[in-house]
Structures are given as structure tokens and as C-alpha cells.
Amino acid sequence: MNKYVCKKSCIYRLTIFLILCFSFILPLPAQYPANYQYTLLPEKVIDEILNASSGELAWRHIVELAPYTRPRYDAEFTGNLRETDYILGKLKEYGLDYSLEIVGKTRTWRGLKGILQEISPGNAKLADFEEVPEMLVEGSEPADLEAQLVWAGDGSQEFFIRNSDAIKGKIIVTSSYPAMVHARAISAGAAGTISFYSPRPMIDPIQIPNLSVNGGGFAFLLPPREGIILRDRLMSGEKITVKVKVESKSEQVDLQVPQCIIAGRDTSAGEIILTAHLFEGYVKMGANDNMSGSAVILEVAHALNELIKSGKINRPERTIRFLWVPEFSGTIPWVNLHLQKVKKALCNINLDMVGLNLRANRSFFCLHRSGFSTAHYVNDVVESYMRFVGETNVEGITDELGRRGFAKRIVAPTGTDDPFYYRILSLHGSSDNAVFNDWGINVPGVKLITWPDNYYHTSEDNPDKCDPTQLKRALFITAASVYTIASADDKMANRILSEMLAGASVRLGIQMAKAADMVHKADVSGLQNAYKRAVYNLEGVAMAEKAAMDKITQLSINPAVLKAISTSQQSVDVILQTHLAALREIMTTKAQEYGIKAVDMTPGETEKRAAKIVPVPTEKALTMGYGGERKYISALSSDFLATHSYYGIVNTSEAAGLADGKRNLLQIKKMIDAQFEEESPLQDIINYFTVLKEAGLMKY
């Protein structure tokens, strides 16, 4: 070998050796950019909001509002309910502009006494309403009797048919859902029922769910642990007789809505509305559901008000309104009473069950976005702060394989110091945000919630399940989100728009991955439908993203902002076309594999007809309020409705809400289908809008 080549080779090997040696001594450069987290608001404002956010104070409110379920006092039915007085008292103490509005009346069942006492063969109290109110099932009617217990297993209809003579006047014991078995038992002549049903007995054997019965008689619920003992005694042949004493009544109660505002500089600029339900009926009283949401928005009002008064942050341009509502039963009349004001609102942020200890319950803090019919920047604003807390409150790994602590520690002094577990999810109702998203209101509503929760709607939904750290984080996310929107100027409008474009890129990318999977999985007979659905889903998402960007005009109509909106929407179109081109390549390859022609996207006759229909809501629709379409549709002839069936539509409110005088019915279908797993038939959509037109709610 040439000496020069040999020497060069030795130097090369030595160099490589030294590099390898030093690689174990000196850190190698990171393969990805350093962790970079940001917020829409300036760091100084973020720090002020964080410093003012107290998880401990929120937790104390929960303890005061719902330490445990208790019978209500007489005074609560002649004046304010206890929870109302507590909220009003705190609002006064905090120096907020508050009021109480009565938006109607309702009736509620009220338990007064409920004792279930074994008198033979033993002498033992089995249940007592005064000790554990959940043991007396809501809807139970007064009773004073002695009766024998009968084990009915799961309470099937066959049991009552087979034993019709043996159960008259007896008390039925079952492991099944009380309402169903109770109705059968009372119909068969039984005096009442006892159940130890629980949806989550493996989680907590002493948990009693909040349930109700109707149709007469009485019902008791035992914890699964105690119910199983009673079951085994009956199954072994024991004859057990009990004495029952139940006192209950129906009470009229006001629908009370405590509220306050933090006035903006421009009171005509629209409001941001925060909601949390203070009442979920008047029997159930839950700590996480939903004293946690009520406590958090109380502290959001407290924190922002103090920061504004002290000059640490500026008064926002727009008003922030806080509502503590009876869930649905108070929200609906309040919204309908203030319809014109509500319709001018920018958005709703609804807090429902936000305080759960996440790690202990294997739970997540979830943001449920508004639907495509109310596509809006509030989704990206809240998501931005969720991500900030999630990415800065998690242990990282350093280049030296060491541990890096939380980048921005958001931990309550007496709470957990766990990572922040969060999820961003699509539209979901089942809470007051659904009222705002309804097409009769058409205000974007998002929901914050901890889920899953193994204790909600049970006797064990107590303050010990809530975590001051989670409350502090929920408080910060809510306060920062609402202040970002309320104080937004031209500069912030552009900033939010940039966030929306980034989010749109991600969401379209995720939808592209789903679309590609649909096509890849399609068999030869299903390729046509799979590809068309995949294309429509991508187009539906893109339309929603662009519609959300249009809402930035609520914050600014500066020409530069309007230009930025148009540019961002064009960027969405470019991304869409890139994905559609790639998807077509995937479909073409798949078709070649099957030896068939590529899918022809020429619209069919029904699609052509739908594309020509561009509905717009009438004045009647714009002023009907929440759920108003029902009375107009129900007034139509049954024959007309029978020939225009629309029950295949997954969400009719989303369908109607997408009608804006610009979209045709084919586009509306695309936007509905992109949100839901189940497809809504196009003919059903045509039928539904035909019904709405006949009812005077749409014109085209």
C-alpha cells in the first residue's frame, strides 16, 4: 500500500475515533429545534393572569357550594337557593357589577323523609334519606307501609308476567336500572322498588347514582356493596320484611341566573359570554359537576376584575359576561329573552366539570370545539392556551439525557404537580354550549370538560375528587382566552389569524390522512363511494376553516387585516388542492390494482339538483330563538312530513345553521359529513330544507 494513502487512512481512522470518543463527553446538537412555546398575549400579561389565578380559592368555592348532597331548606323555595346567594355574595365581595335575573319558574321534586327499615327477621336500617339523600330516588311518592321483599334479578318483563300474583303489594329488589324496572313493578301492582344499580361498581362499590322514577310508588337505591348482601340473603331463601316511610312533595322554584359583567370600553362591540351551570336540577348537587365550572368562572371574574382595577392589564375593548345558569332549563329562556343581544355576542365559552384530578382518574382536560355551522376563531384561541399549558407542564428530556422540569410551572401550592393531560375534540353538546350553537341562536360555543369522570352524577361527586392545580390551569386557560378575544385589536386580529392558518394546516393534514386511509381500505365495490366521501370531507373541512377566518372581521375591519384574511383563505385552498391531487393519485393507483377505471367524480342528478339550491334563513328563523323550529315544523301536515323524511341527518341543527345564503345543499352536505362518522343522505338534506321552506324558515 502507498505510504501516503496509508498515512491518510490512519489519520482518517484516528479522526473518526476521536469524534466517537468526544460524542460521549460533549452533547451532540439536537436533531430538532429547541422547545419553543408561545402565547398570543404578551408574557407580562400572561404572568399577571397566572399570578391572579388561584386554584385554592376555586377549590374552596366548591367546598362551600357542594360539600355533599343535602336536603334543601324551606327558605330556599320562598327566596333564593343557597348556591345563588353564595355566588351573589362573592360577586359583591369582589366588587363586580352583578345582578340576579329570574327567567321563569319550574317545578321540582323534593324529598323530606325516606326510611327503609328491616323489621323481620332482623332489625336494621337499610336506607335513610337524611343521611344519604341519593338513597331515596327522585320522584318517589309518599308511603307508610310494611311489605315483604321479592328478588327480581334484572327485572325483566318476563319476571313480572310469570309472578304477577306473587308481587302485588310487595317491594321488588333488583340489580337493574331503576326507572325501567320500577315502571314494570308499579304496573304489576308492587308497592315500590329497591335497586343497587350502579354504572361503575368496579370503580367504587359505595357509589350511588343520581336517578329518578315516575309513575307512582317509591324507590330506594343502595350502594352495590350493600345491595349484593341483600340480594344474597333473598336468593338464599330468607323472608325479609321492611317498614317504609317516605315523605315528599312537589315545589315550585324560580329559574335563577346570577350574573355579572366586566364592561368593555365599547359596550356596542359585542360580548364574550362565559357560562357554567350552577344547577343541574335541584336534587343533584355535584362538586366537579358542576360546582367546579361555577367556581372557575367566579375566579376568572375575580382575577380579571382585580387586574383591570389595579392597572396591571388594560380594560378590554369588549364586555365579558358571566352567567351561572340552571343547565338548559335556565340557559334556554335567558338566551331567548335576550335574543338580539345574544346574537351580537362573539362567542360562548362553557365550563362543565373542569376540576377533576386528572391523573388519579385517568382523565383529560378536553376542549370540544364548536361545529362547522359556527366555525370561529375562539376554537384556535382556546386550543392555543391548552397547548401552551400542556407543553410547558410536562417533564422533558435534555440533550445530556437528564430531566428538564416544567418550562412554565402552573401548579397550585396544595395541588398535584402532575403533567397536564389534554385533548382537542370536535363538537359535542350535552351542556349549555349546545344552546348557543343551536341554529336558532348561531353563536359559537365551546365546551371545556374533564373526561372521563367516574364520579359525576353520583353520591361520590365530592370536593375530594377535585384538584387545585387542575382548577388553576382551567382558570388560567379560560381567563387568558377570554381576555385575548375581549381585548383584541388590529394587531391581535392578525396574530389570531396566523394561529388559525397554522391550525387549519394541521387539521387538513389529519383529514388527508383519514381520507387516504378510507381509499386504501376500500374494496373494489366500495372505491367509488370511499373516494367521493374522502374528497367531500377534505372540501368540507377547508370550507369550515375559511368560514372561521371570516369571523376575524368581528375583531378588525382594517384593510390590512381584510387582506390577510383573504391571503390565509387562499393558502387553505392551496393546501386543499395539494391534498386532493395526492388523494387522486392514491385512488388511481388503487383502481389500477383492481383493474378498474379511475373514479369518475361527475355529479349525479341528485347532486346537481342540490347544487342549485342555496337556502337562506327567513326573518322568522332569525327571530325564533332556541328550538323555535319545532313548533313551526309540528304545525305542518303529517302527510307532508311523511313524504319528506329527514331522519338520516346526523345533526339537523348543524345542517340548518350552515345555510347562509352562499352555500348550496351539496356544500352543506360536505360540511356535515366532514364532522361525523355517519354520512347524512343528500336526499334527506334536500327533504329537510324543503320542510324548513314549507314552515317559512328558509327561502330559496
Residues of the chain with pLDDT > 70, as a percent, come to 94
What is d(CA 44, CA 52) in angstroms, rounded to the nearest whole number?
13
- What is the distance of C-alpha 276 from the center of its chain? 12
519 touches 527 (CB < 8 A): yes
- What is the distance of C-alpha 312 from the center of its chain? 32
What is d(CA 456, CA 83) in angstroms, rounded to the nearest whole number?
19
Instruction: Provide the residue type at 254 as one letter.
Output: D
DSSP 529-590: HHHHHHHHHHHHHHHHHHHHHHGGGGT---HHHHHHHHHHHHHHHHHHHHHHHHHHHHHHHH
Supply the pLDDT for residue 11: 43
What is d(CA 165, CA 161) in angstroms, rounded to the nearest whole number?
9
349 touches 293 (CB < 8 A): no
In this structure, the dihedral spanned by the alpha carbons of residues 585, 590, 594 and 596, taken in order and rounded to 10 degrees, is -30
Helix axes 527-550, 665-673, angle to 10 degrees: 100
- What is the distance of C-alpha 602 from the center of its chain? 39
pLDDT per position as a tens digit, 457-481:
999 999 999 999 999 999 999 999 9
Across the chain, what does the average pLDDT equal?
Answer: 94
Residue matched to cell numbers 340557559: 331
Which of 571-585 are b and which e, b meaning 16 or more Cβ less than 10 Å from the residue's Cβ? bbeebbeebbeebbe
pLDDT per position as a tens digit, 603-661:
999 999 999 999 999 999 999 999 999 999 999 999 999 999 999 999 999 999 999 99
Query: For the chain, how far is it from start to end, CA to CA, in angstroms?
Result: 90
Supply the pLDDT for residue 3: 44
Query: At a CB cut-off of 8 Å and minimum separation 6, what does 485 contact?
Result: 272, 318, 346, 347, 377, 378, 381, 555
Please state, as a whole number, how many other Cβ atoms lie within 10 Å of the Cβ of residue 153.
Answer: 14
Supply the pLDDT for residue 170: 97
**Is the CATH code 3.90.1520.10 the one for domain 43-107+254-486?**
no
What is d(CA 533, CA 516) in angstroms, rounded to the nearest whole number?
11
DSSP-based three-state secondary structure for 174: strand
324 sits in which H/E element: strand 319-326
pLDDT per position as a tens digit, 261-284:
999 999 999 999 999 999 999 999
Burial class for 221, CB neighbours closer than 10 Å (0-12, 13-18, 19+): buried
Supply the pLDDT for residue 608: 98
Burial class for 234, CB neighbours closer than 10 Å (0-12, 13-18, 19+): middle
List the single range of 13-17, 403-407, 577-581 with lowest mean pLDDT.
13-17
List the single range of 60-64, 68-72, 118-122, 371-375 with lowest mean pLDDT.
68-72
CA distance readout (Å), 203 to 199, 222, 531 = 9, 16, 44
Supply the pLDDT for residue 365: 98
CA distance readout (Å), 5 to 11, 13, 256, 603, 656 = 10, 12, 92, 71, 80
DSSP-based three-state secondary structure for 40: coil
Residue 105's φ and ψ, nearest 5 degrees, are -135, 155
21 sits in which H/E element: helix 3-23
Q: How confident is the model at residue 13 (pLDDT cuts 50, 70, 90)?
A: very low
Q: Above 50 in pLDDT, residue 486?
A: yes
Supply the pLDDT for residue 495: 98
Which of 640-661 are b and which e, b meaning 16 or more Cβ less than 10 Å from the residue's Cβ? eeeebebeebebbbbbbbbbee
Supply the pLDDT for residue 143: 98
pLDDT per position as a tens digit, 555-607:
999 999 999 999 999 999 999 999 999 999 999 999 999 999 999 999 999 99
Instruction: Provide the residue type at 416 as one letter.
Output: T
Q: Above 60 in pLDDT, residue 90?
A: yes
Strand partners, 366: 423, 449
CA distance readout (Å), 204 to 57, 208, 394, 466 = 28, 9, 30, 16
Length reported for the chain: 700
DSSP letter for 291, please: I
How many helices (DSSP H) and strands (DSSP E) are in the chain? 23, 17
Please state, as a whole number, how many other Cβ atoms lie within 10 Å of the Cβ of residue 165.
Answer: 8
Q: Above 50 in pLDDT, residue 24?
A: no
pLDDT average, residue stretch 206-213: 96
Supply the pLDDT for residue 309: 98
DSSP-based three-state secondary structure for 410: coil
Supply the pLDDT for residue 402: 58
486 sits in which H/E element: helix 468-486
What is d(CA 683, CA 610) in angstroms, rounded to the nearest whole number?
9
317 touches 487 (CB < 8 A): yes
What is d(CA 90, CA 295) in angstroms, rounded to the nearest whole number?
10
39 touches 260 (CB < 8 A): no
What the block records as the C-alpha cell of 565 is: 384574511
Q: How confident is the model at residue 33 (pLDDT cuts 50, 70, 90)?
A: very low
Query: Domain map of the chain by residue range?
Result: 43-107+254-486, 122-239, 489-601, 605-667+677-700
Q: Above 60 in pLDDT, residue 31?
A: no
Largest alpha-carbon pair distance within the chain? Answer: 112
317 touches 488 (CB < 8 A): yes
DSSP letter for 320, please: E
Residue matched to cell numbers 383563505: 569
Q: How confident is the model at residue 401 (pLDDT cuts 50, 70, 90)?
A: low
What is d(CA 211, CA 553) in angstroms, rounded to the nearest whole number?
46
Q: How confident is the model at residue 456 (pLDDT cuts 50, 70, 90)?
A: very high
Q: What is the 3-state secondary structure (H, E, C) of 187-252?
A: HCCCCEEEECCCCCCCCCCCCCECCECCCCCEEEECCHHHHHHHHHHHHCCCCCEEEEEEEEEEEE
Supply the pLDDT for residue 16: 41
Q: What is the 3-state secondary structure (H, E, C) of 440-482?
A: CCCCCEEEEEEECCCCCCECCCCHHHECHHHHHHHHHHHHHHH
DSSP-based three-state secondary structure for 637: coil
- What is the distance of C-alpha 220 from the center of its chain? 31
CATH topology of domain 122-239: Glucose Oxidase; domain 1 (3.50.30)
